[in-house]
Structure 1
Amino acid sequence: MMAAPKRKAMGRGLSALLKDTGEVNSAADVNADKIVGAIAEIEIEKIHPNPDQPRTQFSKEALEELAISIRELGIIQPITVRKNGNDSFTIISGERRYRASKIAGLETLPAYIRLADDQTMLEMALVENIQREELDSIEIALSYQRLIDECSLTQEAMSDRVGKKRSTVTNYLRLLKLQPIVQAGLRDKMISMGHARAIVSVENEEDQMKIYETIIAKDLSVRQVEDAVRKLRQAENETSGTKTATPTLPEKYVEVQENLSEKLESDVSLSRSKRGKGKIVIPFKNDKDFERILSLLNS
């Protein structure tokens, strides 16, 4: 398997960050805005699991596999911690990455720092961060995901906050489904956003890697990758015995189907013949659900 070069540390050292800001434990403290949303390299020994973490079982085999990936690539997605004061941090999200990093022998871990009562400040910091021109596609996707996870924003509300079309937000979020090495390749500009959008429609990670390695080896264009993905789907259909009378949807139609399903919170299906004729089916549970969907369509 092709390995991308290991990435350097993602954030500033914690001591350097705190030297500039002083002791900050709450959003009400001076310089809190310089802490919230920042990434710092924190010593693993100062990070502690959340005692109220509902997940208590972690697959040893899966952790070992993740540890191997971390040794090769470093951490693609920082964990999120809450600062407790006295150089102590509690994990909010990312305990699996934390455990795997310990297995991998890392001494520090990149982490987003949260403070007490910082919800509004965090949302503002993330939205501002997304507007920065130097961010790569994965960094933008991670910021979108944090707005969803930590600020409890829907994709619709988030698209309003950041001034982007909902379909644009959805396309970025889909990048987080890419195999980690492919994500690293996108961050390091070894492939383009167009390449990544074609690859992400392939669910199997091994197939993602084969396509990614072929892109690098043969310098494939986005159109060539889209053709390769289409042929892969056709081969899978033939192997599984699935009838191929209904052609595979072009990528742009797949995106429309996914965007409609997310917007309407319904399992929308879209079909299209070789001549371009097709239909969109939007199921509803009852009259109330019908009115809800109708309201969303008219909004």
Structure 2
Amino acid sequence: MAKAIKKQALGRGLSALLKDPSNDIQSAQDTNADKVIGNIVELDLDFIEVNPFQPRTNFSEESLRELASSIKELGIIQPITVRKLGLNKYQLVSGERRFRASKSLNLETIPAYVRIANDQESLEMALVENIQRQDLDPIEIALSYQRLIDEINLTQEQMSERVGKKRSTIANYLRLLKLDPIIQTGMRDGFISMGHGRALIAIEDQSDQLDIYENILSNKLSVRETENFIRDFNSESPTKKTEKKTEEDDMPKFVKKGMTAFSEYFGHKIDVKVSKNGKGKITIPFHSEEDFNRIKKLVQGDSK
């Protein structure tokens, strides 16, 4: 623990400098700015707010608990990065997992790099730094690329230079956003890989995408097997595809509308069979014990 305490003591003098109203640093040109910017500063956790531009939306509670346990033993190994908003007011640029874990331990301070940036620079910094992380899922990366295009007005060529990735790599990620949202969720939850997702892009109709997605999960198809299946599917005669569509089109409107709502809620394509007398059956698939328990919680939540 002595090692951790020593690490937590870094930057206390600089922290006091930042708290002094007479030394309120607002730009890189201000007096004493060179002593703070680029150095590790010990900041009060209460002075830091989360970043509204954070690309990451999924935070595993289990991994946060593991990180908190590590911080308790060893301290913060890698400082977070913040931008200064005003006197004793900062905003996270990167390091939200470390920030959350530290808050859960009721720590008072956290080591941080302080940067001066406007909103657009902060957004770009947050997006680019998060894209470089190794633990982002493919959809989080794709959404970050899309935000750089939409909100920073970067071209794919400019993004390639910023993040150090080939333009073709960026394009492959962006194409994943054309997939049905249920499939995107499956990729985020680890049910399928990016390779599966790239293969599914070749299917234009999202209903067909979902059918093949369920087949991948049910039969545990590899990426190569999925590519072969999709190749065969695309070469299938238009007559057979029309027959499948007709079966769905014959369903009552309330069933077709309900199928979409059920599928979005449970995160799977729900199979519905309707007889001529109006009676029917709903089938909810699951693909692992974890998936079954997730669906069980959803059903129990509705029954309470």
Structure holding more helix per residue:
2
TM-score normalized with structure 2 length = 0.43
> Which structure has the larger Rg?
2
TM-score normalized with structure 1 length = 0.44
